[in-house]
Amino acid sequence: MTSEALLKKSLAQRTNLDSINQNENLSAESLSAGMIGNVLEWYDFGLYGFLAPLIGAHFFPSSNPIASLLGAYGGFAIGFAMRPIGGAVLGHIGDRVGRKAVLIASVVMMGAATTMIGLLPTYQQIGIWAPILLLLVRLFQGFSVGGEFTGSVSFLVETAPRHLRGIAGSVANIGSTLGYLVAAGLAAATVMFSTHFQAHTWIWRVPFIVGGALAVFAYFVRTKLTQTGYEPCEQQDGESNLPLQKAFKEAPRAMILVTIFTWGYGVANYLTMVFFATFASKFGSINNGYALTVNTFALALAIVVVPISGWLGDRFIRRRSMLIIAFGLTLISAIFFFQMAQGASLAEFAVAQLGFAVSYGIMMGSAPAMLAERFPSHIRLSGYSVAFNIGIGLGGGTAPLIATALIGATGSNLAPAWYLMICALLSIVALYLMRDRSREPLR
């Protein structure tokens, strides 16, 4: 492409972004549309993690509880394996067609997959086909999730004025945390308010079917969108039709650093807010229902912290600094909190879980806008989606599986804490090498 063509394209894109961000206030329409899909997405992924012991018993039966749990968490991890592929495909659509198409497609696919999990026959009913079908649904689910979070964050950041990008991006994670909260609440209710027989037969299906109803609501919210975020400009002759190819060519440093950062980000997320409750019940002395109840309160606390973190990043403390603080807190507290979760005291476990929730909330409030700001608009969704989902998929998606395997391999119940510390340090290094664009115009 000639320099004149590049200049014209840059001006067209800047004009597009300027027209999007001409309002000084956040749009309620944009905020609700950006939030609702993440409620659904993380509701399902959280629900699968919280109910892993029951899912393991139904689809991966074994006399060894660790082996059964490994099977269930293997299904958790395989859903993440498809996320980079989904991110590449849906990211391409978002950059070449527009953000709205991705926002609608992702909730339709996610809702269908969530409902299917609630309807699948168990191992006792159809044998080996039960875990095979479950893993296939998880693959489909992972594909759909690949463009949901990054698509909604890009949409939210692009439709927000410069001085409110942080809090706008945090709305996606308010939605994801709310999804976790609802999942944790329903999982706790499933375990605590059903008989042992019901919990191990049919009642575990109800929360997944509820997710399908939530998807229908999300679909109608997003089809009514009038603001659509970035709209692609007309391509120049000889220009590549693959935004992902451009992302690797134009922003290789951003791709690498975002991938490294999101590895630690994903591990921190899934070990502290999903695996931790299971750890306390399986490797400590905390009743599973009580552990999930504490986790529910911790997620409620995180919802309060998330927008505060986004607001602070817009007004006072740059986003990169906020994230270094959050990962530093996780790094120094991991060993102590996992030790507290092993004891018989519910109060100690609650302190540890709530402590993790504060660090988690800071991360979730500051990271979305910062990651979206890494990429120019014409490659944002492709570059962001693939880098984010590789890191989340390889790091976060495998975290519960690796944590459980490390306990079995080392014989130490603190092995997950050491793994969490190493990954938190990786994220801190990646953050240090990133340029903070929180006060700059969106490219």
pLDDT digits (tens, 9 = 90+) for 121-134: 887 788 878 888 88
For residues 348 and 36, give the distance between their C-alpha atoms in angstroms, rounded to a whole number. Answer: 34
Report pLDDT for 18: 47
What is the total count of domains within the chain?
A: 1
* 80 pLDDT higher than 60: yes
Tokens of 177: 């945390």
Report pLDDT for 268: 94
* 426 pLDDT higher than 90: yes
Q: Note the pLDDT tens digit of each residue in 140-160.
A: 888 888 888 888 888 888 888
Report pLDDT for 3: 46
Length of the chain: 443
Question: pLDDT class for 346, splitting at 50, 70, 90?
Answer: confident
* 329 pLDDT higher than 70: yes
Q: Would 34 be classed as within a structural domain?
A: yes
- CATH of residue 163: 1.20.1250.20
Report pLDDT for 200: 61
Q: Note the pLDDT tens digit of each residue in 11-59.
A: 445 545 544 554 566 677 778 888 888 888 878 877 877 777 777 777 7
Q: State pTM to two decimals.
A: 0.80
Question: pLDDT class for 72, splitting at 50, 70, 90?
Answer: low
Q: Note the pLDDT tens digit of each residue in 317-328.
A: 999 999 999 999
- Could you give phi then psi for residue 439, rounded to 5 degrees? -115, 10
The domain of 119 spans 27-231+243-433
Q: Note the pLDDT tens digit of each residue in 228-256.
A: 666 665 555 455 568 888 888 888 999 99
Q: Which stretch, 97-106, 257-266, 281-290, has highest mean pLDDT?
A: 257-266
Mean pLDDT of 369-374: 90
Report pLDDT for 122: 80
Mean pLDDT of 213-218: 86
Q: Would 272 be classed as within a structural domain?
A: yes
Q: Would 22 be classed as within a structural domain?
A: no
Question: pLDDT class for 76, splitting at 50, 70, 90?
Answer: low
Report pLDDT for 255: 92
Q: Note the pLDDT tens digit of each residue in 271-302.
A: 998 889 888 888 888 887 788 788 888 988 99
Q: Would 350 be classed as within a structural domain?
A: yes
